[in-house]
Amino acid sequence: MKIKTLLYCALLLMGNTTIKAQQSTKIIDAPASQRQHKITQFWTDRTQIQSAASLSAGPLTLSYARPAGVWEEALPLGNGQLGAMVFGGVADERVQLNESTLWAGHPQDPNNPKGKMYLPRIQQLLFEGKNKEAIDLADTTLMGLPKNIKPYQSLGELWFDMPHLKAEQYARSLDLERALQQTSYVYNGVKFFRESFISAPANAMVIHYTANKKQALDLNFTWKRAQDFSCTADPTDPTQLLLQGQIGQSAHANERGTKFAAIAKVILKGGKLINADGRIAITGADEITIIVTAATDYPGLKHIAYPQTPVDIDPLASCRKVISSLNKQHYQQLKQAHIEDYQQYFNRVKLNLPDPEQDKLAKLPTDSLIRLTKELQKVPNTLVNKFFQFGRYLLISSSRPGHMPANLQGLWAWQMDPPWNADFHTNINLQMNYWPAEVTNLSELHKPLFDLTKALIPFGERTASKLYGAKGWVVHHLTDAWGYTAPADGVQGIWPMGSAWMAQHPWEHYNYTGDREFLKVQAYPIMKGAAEFILDFMVKIPQGKSFAGYWTTNPSHSPENSFILPSGEVSSFTYGATMDTQIIRDLLQNCVEATKLLDCDPDFRQRCQAALTKLIPTQISKETGRIMEWIEDYKETEVNHRHTSHLFGLHPSNQISIVNTPELAEAAKKTLLSRGDHGTGWSLAWKINMWNRLHDGEHAYRLLYNLISDKTLPNLFDNHPPFQIDGNFGATAAIAEMLLQSQVRDKNNNYLIELLPALSHNMDQGSVTGLKARGNRTVNIQWENGKLKKAEILPSSSGPVCISYAGKQIERNGTKGTAVLITPDMFQ
């Protein structure tokens, strides 16, 4: 072995590494709705990239000609529990990791004991138009104690150092078809290759180093974290480096939080390894495989709600168990098992939008392809294909059965205090994360949301009782891993509709799958409990007010928006916001239908039906012709506000449609026009879905262009800004609904399968296979020159299949397991 290499390793073990990273900017301590997040963290790779490899990316590969310079350029990997962002550095590589249960905080009862006592007075003040007095009283009597939740946190980072200060023919990529991240380059005539993935079967990340010359691999690595950790050699195994810690330990807090651990195990082919002083150094290896796993002592929401028996979880023991189970598997076995597991989900849907410039565009890095959209004033179909499947990739990677659901950043967050705590925001964002689950054939990945919802019920029941004196269960505008269901952040958090909206999702899962047992055992109890709260919470509007005698919500918000009272006072606190009524109508109608399907609860059904007759109808402003956002036609403070909450009835509900409610549909169109074609990333995604529901494919595409050209980061993450994953998921669902919709009922109350309802001329040729329609129908579609060529509908049960195309409807008899062929001449 060369003396130079030995000296290099000795210096590294003494801690003379030159890896650097600038300090991250501190987040301003302000209410969640007001924070301005400066999150960029610059990363320095000492290597000079002298040339890039000739790219010829596969149609579903993200490719780049340089390492990531900031976290928002790194490439995500995940298996639902473990997540990683890979930078693709050469001399200095960084792999930032997350574990889905690593949350600061602890179980508590945040419900304000004054709530139930003062609620009637707050309601009276709002009915009297004394909004400011109501706000002041609500702030001291309804808000959670404490008002804020603790954040989801980064697990830590692996920092690698290699003696390669120049690189030629550099390339890094993310293969969406196999969920593999790859980095390659040439140094001193030797080609180096690095491949990474996170396996669900193995419950581990695998990093594999090779070179086309023997004994060419020299590197060292260590664990790093901003706080609360130690990095040591494993006393039981010299090939393992341990990360251990407990949230809060650095602050010497009386109440320390979640314990965590991670192991990085090295498997060598050739070479030598030294493990000392919190660093592993490797020299002269032919191949290096590093297996990484992590765990916490988080007991799960079910145990937190019902802590009858103590739970003692040892995170390090959990990690060792995983590593031990993988000892006999070599790299190719781990890789093959990972690919097979991943592709069982990914391969269900294939979208093909031909692009005449495909060969030329395949040679462009993905970040250049994003920039090209502005020059072209459209999104190349090559990029639409990637963007759609990237959204499905993210859901497969961040939401697996048995694990936590995708949060505001999915699974990926590098800070100790990420934007909005990377929480579960329930006034749009958490729900939007799961919009693509059913339509893009990823039904099983919806289950983590249902598990969270079910686990929140006992917490929500306490909040419903203590704050509102109501039965059932409630969640406000956010929640976390500890079952926080009280109002949070500020008075804008007094929005007790989160549970009612969350209850829509198990109902939709039933509609898409037809799983009656799921409806009976899981969906219906969630829905009924949410509805019981609503039925108890609503109050009768007093005489002298609009819609006197009708039932409404009080207090109420139209999420994060405000209005101007006749007195000139600006307020957001009110009663009877339109979104509330639309959510309630959706929930109660679904409950009525569920009771009929299950032949149960006739008294409860009657209560729901009676309440439905006393709900305020969706109103159209006489002045503007738009859907009214509040019970009164108040003037808006921000016409272009990012939330379009009062169009919940258009999407994700089906109360407004051009087929059944054309007048409301026209008012919804005017509302969208007034909101404008710009906004935050997730806001644009929501509006794309709404334009789809209005069958305006050109307008939907215009907003898709705005989203990708202006609100998409180099790694295709959605940019609020900052990064929020809901925009990715919402846009993926929107692309699917340009091609297939099934939310509208026909005259026989069957879901209508709408083919190509919002197709833009920019996508006038293509095919898609494997999309799902309500009624558990799998749909394949081909089109040319903007017109249907043929479609195949595969029903899961026999019965009528109702299809719509170009404004005309037909009905065919479907047989279970036999494809129904649809051609355009059938609609003549």
CB 650 within 8 A of CB 668: yes
Q: What is the pLDDT of residues 417-437, one digit of tens each?
A: 999 999 999 999 999 999 999
- Residue 56 has a pLDDT of 76
- Residue 253 has a pLDDT of 58
- Residue 748 has a pLDDT of 83
Q: What is the DSSP letter of 13?
A: H
| Residue 302 in this model has a pLDDT that exceeds 90 | no
Q: Are residues 126 and 215 in the same domain?
A: no
Q: What is the DSSP letter of 228?
A: S
Q: Are residues 535 and 484 in the same domain?
A: yes
- Residue 1 has a pLDDT of 34
| Residue 358 in this model has a pLDDT that exceeds 90 | no
CB 688 within 8 A of CB 647: no
Residue 88, sorted as left (phi over 0), alpha (psi -120 to 50) or beta, turns out to be: left
In a domain, residue 154? The reply is yes
| 301 — pLDDT class (breaks 50, 70, 90) | confident
pTM of the model: 0.94
What value does the mean pLDDT of the chain take?
Answer: 93
Token pair for 42: 């610059």
CATH number at residue 490: 1.50.10.10
Q: What is the pLDDT of residues 793-808, one digit of tens each?
A: 999 988 999 999 999 9
In a domain, residue 378? The reply is no
Q: What is the pLDDT of residues 522-580, one digit of tens each?
A: 999 999 999 999 999 999 999 999 999 999 999 999 999 999 999 999 999 999 999 99
In a domain, residue 743? The reply is no
- Residue 639 has a pLDDT of 87
CATH number at residue 784: 2.60.40.1180
Q: Are residues 316 and 455 in the same domain?
A: no
Percent of the chain whose pLDDT exceeds 70: 94
Pairing, β 204-211 against β 217-224: unpaired
Q: Which helix (H) or strand (E) holds 18?
A: none
| Residue 17 in this model has a pLDDT that exceeds 70 | no
Out of 600, 621, 652, pick the residue that ends a domain.
652
Q: How far apart are the first and last CA of the chain?
A: 79
| Residue 785 in this model has a pLDDT that exceeds 70 | yes
| Residue 633 in this model has a pLDDT that exceeds 80 | yes
Q: What is the DSSP string of 577-623?
A: -HHHHHHHHHHHHHHHHHHHHHT--HHHHHHHHHHHTTBPPPPB-TT
CATH number at residue 19: 2.70.98.50
- Residue 36 has a pLDDT of 37
For 259, the domain range is 3-104+150-347
CB 85 within 8 A of CB 72: no
Q: What is the pLDDT of residues 471-513, one digit of tens each?
A: 999 999 999 999 999 999 999 999 999 999 999 999 999 999 9
Residue 185 backbone dihedrals phi, psi, to 5 degrees: -170, 170
CB 144 within 8 A of CB 486: yes
Dist CA 218 CA 168 (whole Å): 18
Q: Are residues 90 and 139 in the same domain?
A: no
Q: Can you give 715-764 as a three-state secondary structure string?
A: CCCEECCCECCHHHHHHHHHHHHHHEECCCECCCCCECEEECCCCCHHHC
Residue appearing with tokens 């101007």: 564
Amino acid identity of 305? A
Overall average pLDDT of the 164-185 stretch:
97
Give me the number of domains the chain comprises.
Answer: 3
In a domain, residue 406? The reply is no
- Residue 255 has a pLDDT of 66
Q: Are residues 223 and 126 in the same domain?
A: no
Q: Omega into 405 within 30° of 0, i.e. cis? A: no
In a domain, residue 705? The reply is no
Dist CA 642 CA 679 (whole Å): 6
Q: What is the pLDDT of residues 722-766, one digit of tens each?
A: 999 999 999 999 999 999 999 999 888 889 999 999 999 999 999
CB 196 within 8 A of CB 86: yes
| 254 — pLDDT class (breaks 50, 70, 90) | low
Task: Give the torsion through C-alpha atoms of 177, 181, 187, 191, to 10 deg.
Answer: -40
Overall average pLDDT of the 208-230 stretch:
97
Residue 361 backbone dihedrals phi, psi, to 5 degrees: -70, -25
Dist CA 689 CA 651 (whole Å): 7
Nearest to 504 by CA among 693, 648, 302: 648
| 40 — pLDDT class (breaks 50, 70, 90) | low
Q: Are residues 436 and 341 in the same domain?
A: no
In a domain, residue 411? The reply is no
- Residue 362 has a pLDDT of 87
Neighbours of 750 (CB within 10 A): 17
Out of 652, 680, 715, pick the residue that ends a domain.
652
Residue appearing with tokens 């449609």: 657
Q: Are residues 136 and 82 in the same domain?
A: no
Q: Are residues 182 and 330 in the same domain?
A: yes
- Residue 126 has a pLDDT of 97
- Residue 142 has a pLDDT of 98
Out of 321, 347, 373, pick the residue that ends a domain.
347
| Residue 31 in this model has a pLDDT that exceeds 90 | no
Q: What is the pLDDT of residues 588-616, one digit of tens each?
A: 999 999 999 999 999 999 999 999 999 99
Q: Are residues 512 and 644 in the same domain?
A: yes
Q: Are residues 92 and 199 in the same domain?
A: yes
- Residue 34 has a pLDDT of 34
Q: Which helix (H) or strand (E) holds 486?
A: none
- Residue 252 has a pLDDT of 64
Q: What is the DSSP letter of 170?
A: E
Q: Are residues 81 and 169 in the same domain?
A: yes
Q: What is the pLDDT of residues 323-357, one digit of tens each?
A: 999 988 999 999 999 999 999 999 999 999 999 88
In a domain, residue 747? The reply is no
In a domain, residue 376? The reply is no
The residue ranges of DSSP E strands in 308-436, in sequence order, are: 350-352, 424-425
- Residue 8 has a pLDDT of 35
Q: Which helix (H) or strand (E) holds 264?
A: strand 259-269
Q: What is the pLDDT of residues 361-395, one digit of tens each?
A: 888 999 999 999 999 999 999 999 999 999 999 99
State the chain's maximal CA–CA distance in angstroms: 92
Q: Which residues of 496-513 are buried (b: 16+ CB within 10 A; e: fewer)?
A: bbbbbbbbbbbbbbbbbb
Dist CA 169 CA 167 (whole Å): 7
Q: Are residues 202 and 166 in the same domain?
A: yes
- Residue 70 has a pLDDT of 94
| 4 — pLDDT class (breaks 50, 70, 90) | very low
Q: What is the pLDDT of residues 675-691, one digit of tens each?
A: 999 999 999 999 999 99
| 209 — pLDDT class (breaks 50, 70, 90) | very high
